[in-house]
Structure 1
Amino acid sequence: MHEHFRYIVCRSRNQVAGMEKQYLKLVLVLYPFQGHINPMLQLASVLHSHGFSITICHPQFNSPDPSTHPHFEFIPLRAGFTPQNAFKSLTEFLKILNDKSRTPFMDTLVQIMGKEEQSACHVIYDGCMYFAAQVANELNLPSFVFHTFSAANLLRYLAYPHLRQEGLIPIQDSKLLEPVPDLDPLRFKDLFLVSNEDLDAWLNLLSSFCDIKSSSAMIFNTADLLEQQPLKILKEKFQVPIFSIGPIHKISPPIFSSLVEEDTSCISWLDMQTPNSVLYISLGSLNFLNDTELTEMAWGLANSKQPFLWVVPPEKLGGSRSLDSLPEGFEEAVGERSYLVKWAPQKKVLAHGAVGGFLSHCGWNSTLESIGEGVPMICRASYGDQKVNARYLSHVWRVGVELEKGLEREKIESAVRRLMRDEEGEGMRKRALDLKEMIRICVGDGGSSSESIAELVKLIMSSK
């Protein structure tokens, strides 16, 4: 069957070879969650601006709105798979998503390559959708993996097999605060903690996730200045080009990719605040607060006496509750120095002069958006790559305060005061502004990220 597919591909390429007008189609494969959708569509916009034809393949849930991207073609992968299916773990979810998406993606590529007017086709896939590389390889198509997280996070994943061989995982509670060998500044608690029964499945998944033998290159939404050492290690380890093209949102034309409607009224409220006075709070699209955490967060913010803009999506409050779930007396305590929304236009908020700090879950997009605007952070990491990012923010770039060991009002109040009022926070703000300027140079003409995109475009064109 695969020989038949190769025949279709070769026939299509030969037919187009004699045509006067050729074009190169890029097929981008989305991992269907907000933190992955945003950078992939931003990369698509950048590549489209270089003349490539863009097709977006995506699962049938959390689908982007095609009307906001009229220059792209969107093709759903009809796999009968939704997040509402019962899954025991993230490991199981990712494995089944990849297994079920494989055949629909194969069919989609065959249809694309069978079109007479079509020229060469390349695949760019989110690293979590590793099935796409396997399919592209079977069809003899070039593929490129796009990691929407940091280079340091990939190093963490690559370390697991060795850590297990050395008997360091499963992780003992007594070692949680100890440094991980060769992963400075990470501690064992910053790793993705996996139960004993899930460890084999997790390591098998990582083997597929980290296997890029069939890919032509690796792309990272990061900047050389932020991750010089992790990128150096990866370039020594992998025998393919590695492109650091971030922060991609600083290079991409403006796009709208939010899965939730943004409340822009908060910008008018920010306009009335003094410079650097407002703390912005958003814990991301996949985090939620239980009743106790919500109460502690609310009173910690209230007791800090600092103006704040708080994103409180009702569905992330541990159920179908509303903002009325906030503790009694909270509204009276904060008065007009607070503004609450269900979702905010985050990049505009962070770019606003009134915002002086960001209490965040430290997803990689939020991290880059905050650093890109010179805004220091309070780090409340929960899972995934968030703990890695929080550690780098606080101990490498030194523009963040770590908020660990649960949410307690006293710790929240203390962290807010440290960042927004104390001399320590002033130092972080200065370093954050220095990073902002370096990133501006990095994404500008002749900067390392802009040059990396130019080299990526050359590689894509040369491998068609």
Structure 2
Amino acid sequence: MSSSPHALVFPYPAQGHVIPLMELSFRLLDRGFKVTFLNTDYNHERVVSAMKGKGSNQIRMASIPDGLGPEETRSDLGRLTESIAAVMPKPLENLIMEEKNKFTRFIADTNMPWAFAIAKKMAIRTVAFFPSAAGLLALFFNITKLIENGIIDENGLLKEETCQLSLGVNPVSSLHLPWNCFHDELARKAVFQTCFKTAEEFAEEIVICNSFEELEKPIFELYSPRIKPIGPLLATLRSDAASIGSFWSQERACITWLDNQLPKSVIYVAFGSFTVINHKQFHELALGLELTGRPFLWVVRPGFTEGTVDEDAYPLNFKERVLGRGHMVSWAPQQHVLQHPSIACFISHCGWNSTIEGVTNGVPFLSWPYFGDQFFDQDYICDVWKIGLGLVPDENGVIRREQIIAKVEELLGDEDIKSRSLALKGMAHKSVKEGGSSFENLNSFVDAMRGD
């Protein structure tokens, strides 16, 4: 075997999956690996464009088609999941065959169990990476038990209100099982089937994940060594701190704006790469931020508002009224934003990457989940770690400006939440330093990958 092992790294084609596996790739480079990072053709173009020539020349970027046309949306997860499972296996096999003397390891997202079958068929050792909370993977491993116990039926539909894996593990609302938190039936079915296949494919294997032992201790005690945390996987925890893998160009001028704000004064608002809200909700959020009287940095991603052009979605004269106090950007260097001393709190959709980034920087949350595992993550934030408060829609499904104002004030006045947030920050940083749990797990994982 080559003295420099070569890993082919393959994420599920979504922003929250690409970022942590790109970070893992940098950790592998630091430990003597060669890395080829495989995106879909569509996402490859977005990542390369967003890097603007500032990427790493150490990681080789490659791509294969996802089966969707250039004008088709990648936000329909049901359609995307079906397409990649049907179309990508053959191009992946061809890529491995063409370069079979180069790849010695295959590291891929558990959301694509079909990819592992291809690598194994071609005699490449595989490593499974789970991009969400370890507690969620534990739930997947127990889907059969949930069906047998009458919590869900064989299609994943609800039959009971809550489930609990074990004493000491926080009960989970059946409404918050990730496959039940989607807005269309195709996506719900596709996600449930993926979760079920993930459980089957990796039931007897070690799965690495972007978490750390102290964050989900009951889960790791139950599932050690099957689930092994190696996080937080953040660019800001590397020496060069260069973040690569974004689908949009990051507006770094917002960091200069933050430099001019008082410490612990700014509300940071960001909803990830999939969230879409309607015009009414957008107005309530905008007016809620304005009426807090506090400075805010708000990420308004292209396509964030439903049925309107984002520039036309703001309330009349809103931008003029908040000029200087409110700063809106289309995409932000989020890890660097959350690290900034001016940030007071994070209004978040609770995607796992955002959750880990907020935790690692000791930032309290106002949670506003949209779909999928985000409701599970909200339970962690509000009920288990107790480092945030939840925003609750009214009977019309709208989170009103009055609640936003009140919850911001309640959160920023809660010294216990701030203290718990800082304690988790300390644990996160300790875990990735030499001698820390994630540092040691990563080294043992890399040593195993170097073996025959």
**What TM-score, normalized to structure 2?**
0.87
Find 2:6's aligned residue among 18, 25, 28.
25
Cα 1:152–1:293 change in 2 (3 A) is same
Structure 1 alignment gaps of length 5 or more: 1-16
1:5-16 correspondence to structure 2 within 5 Å: none
1:316 aligned counterpart, secondary structure:
coil
Match of 2:261 among 259, 265, 273: 273
Q: Deviations over 1:204-232 (max 9, x none)?
A: 43232223359853110100010111122
Aligned residue for 1:11?
none
State the secondary structure of the residue aligned to 1:93: helix
Query: Is contact 1:145–1:215 with CA below 8 Å preserved after alignment?
Result: no
Aligned to 2:217: 228
Cα 1:174–1:221 change in 2 (3 A) is closer
Tell me which residue corresponds to 1:10.
none
What is the aligned partner in structure 1 of residue 399 from structure 2? 407
Match 2:329 to one of 331, 341, 344: 341
For residues 353-388 of structure 1, the C-alpha deviation after alignment (integer angstroms, 9 at most, x for no partner) is: 111100000111111111111110100011111111
Equivalent residue letter for 2:90: T
Residue type of the partner of 1:104? P
Match of 1:439 in 2: 428
Q: In the TM superposition, what is the alpha-carbon distance from 1:262 to its structure 2 partner?
A: 1.3
Describe how 1:34-433 pairs up with structure 2 within 5 A: 34-63=15-44, 64-65=47-48, 67=53, 68-82=55-69, 85=72, 90-113=77-100, 115=101, 118=102, 121-169=104-152, 178-182=161-165, 184-192=170-178, 193=180, 203-213=192-202, 217-235=206-224, 241-249=226-234, 251-252=237-238, 253-254=240-241, 255-319=243-307, 321-405=309-393, 406-420=398-412, 422=413, 424=414, 426-433=415-422
3-state SS of paired residue (2:201): coil
Q: Kindly indicate whether the alpha-carbon contact (under 8 Å) linking 1:362 and 1:380 is maintained by their aligned counterparts in 2.
A: yes
1:28–1:125: 8 Å Cα contact kept in structure 2? yes
Query: 453-462 or 126-135: which moved more?
Result: 126-135
- Quick check: 2:302–2:330 contact (8 Å CA) kept in 1? yes
CA distance in 2, matches of 1:280, 1:415: 14
Maintained 8 Å contact 2:270/2:299: yes
Alpha-carbon distance change, 330 to 197 in structure 1, aligned in 2, over 3 angstroms: closer
CA deviation after TM superposition for structure 1 residue 51, in Å: 0.8
CA separation in 1, counterparts of 2:185 and 2:276? 26
Structure 1 residue 329, shift from structure 2 partner: 4.1
The answer on whether the counterparts of 1:30 and 1:37 sit within 8 Å (CA) in structure 2 is yes
- Report if aligned partners of 1:133, 1:215 keep a CA contact under 8 Å in 2: no
Q: Secondary structure at the match of 1:61?
A: helix
TM-score of the superposed pair, with normalisation by structure 1: 0.85
Write out the 4+ residue segments of structure 1 that deviate beyond 4 Å after TM superposition: 82-89, 170-175, 194-203, 213-216, 250-253
SS state of the match for residue 258, structure 2? helix
Query: Which has the higher mean CA deviation after the structures are superposed, 308-317 or 41-50?
Result: 308-317
SS in 1 for 2:246: coil
- Say whether the 8 Å CA contact 1:300–1:409 is kept in structure 2: yes
| CA RMSD, 1 decimal | 2.7
Deviation at 1:87, TM superposition (A): 9.4
Kept in 1: contact 2:134–2:227 (CA 8 A): no
TM superposition shift of 1:155: 2.3
The 3-state SS of whatever aligns with 2:244 is: coil
In structure 2, relative to structure 1, the CA distance for the partners of 1:362 and 1:201 (3 Å cut) is closer
Alpha carbons of 1:324 and 1:131: their partners in 2 closer, same or farther (altered >3 Å)? same
Distance 1:215 1:103, change over 3 A: farther
Give the Cα separation in 2 of the matches to 1:69 and 1:60.
19
Match for 1:461: what amino acid?
R
Counterparts of 1:161 and 1:107, CA distance in 2: 35
- Please state how far the C-alpha of 1:79 moved relative to its aligned partner: 4.8
Q: Which residue identity lines up with residue 191 of structure 1 in the other structure?
A: L
Q: In 2, are the aligned partners of 1:145 and 1:212 still within 8 Å (CA)?
A: no
SS, match of residue 27 in structure 1 = strand
C-alpha distance in 2, partners of 1:245/1:233?
A: 17
- For 2:21, the aligned partner's letter is M
Q: Verify the 8 A CA contact 1:143 1:214 in the aligned structure 2.
A: no
Distance of 1:202 and 1:262 partners within structure 2 = 30
Q: After the TM superposition, which of the residue ranges 242-251 and 451-460 deviates more from structure 2?
A: 242-251
Shift of 1:156: 2.9
Higher mean C-alpha deviation, range 197-206 or range 155-164: 197-206
Using the alignment, how far apart are the partners of 1:351 and 1:282 within structure 2? Answer: 15
**d(CA) in 1 for partners of 2:253 and 2:75?**
40
Asked whether the equivalents of residues 129 and 209 of structure 2 are also in contact (C-alpha less than 8 Å), the reply is yes
Tell me if the contact between 1:362 and 1:390 (Cα under 8 Å) persists in the aligned partners.
yes
**Which is worse superposed, 441-450 or 247-256?**
247-256
Question: How many Å separate the matches in 2 of 1:364 and 1:151?
Answer: 10
Give the aligned partner of residue 441 of structure 2: 452
Query: In the aligned structure 2, how far is the partner of 1:93 from the partner of 1:378?
Result: 30
Sort the Cα spacing of 1:206 and 1:172 in 2 relative to 1 into closer, same or farther, 3 A: closer
Tell me if the contact between 1:279 and 1:359 (Cα under 8 Å) persists in the aligned partners.
yes
Q: How many residues align?
A: 431
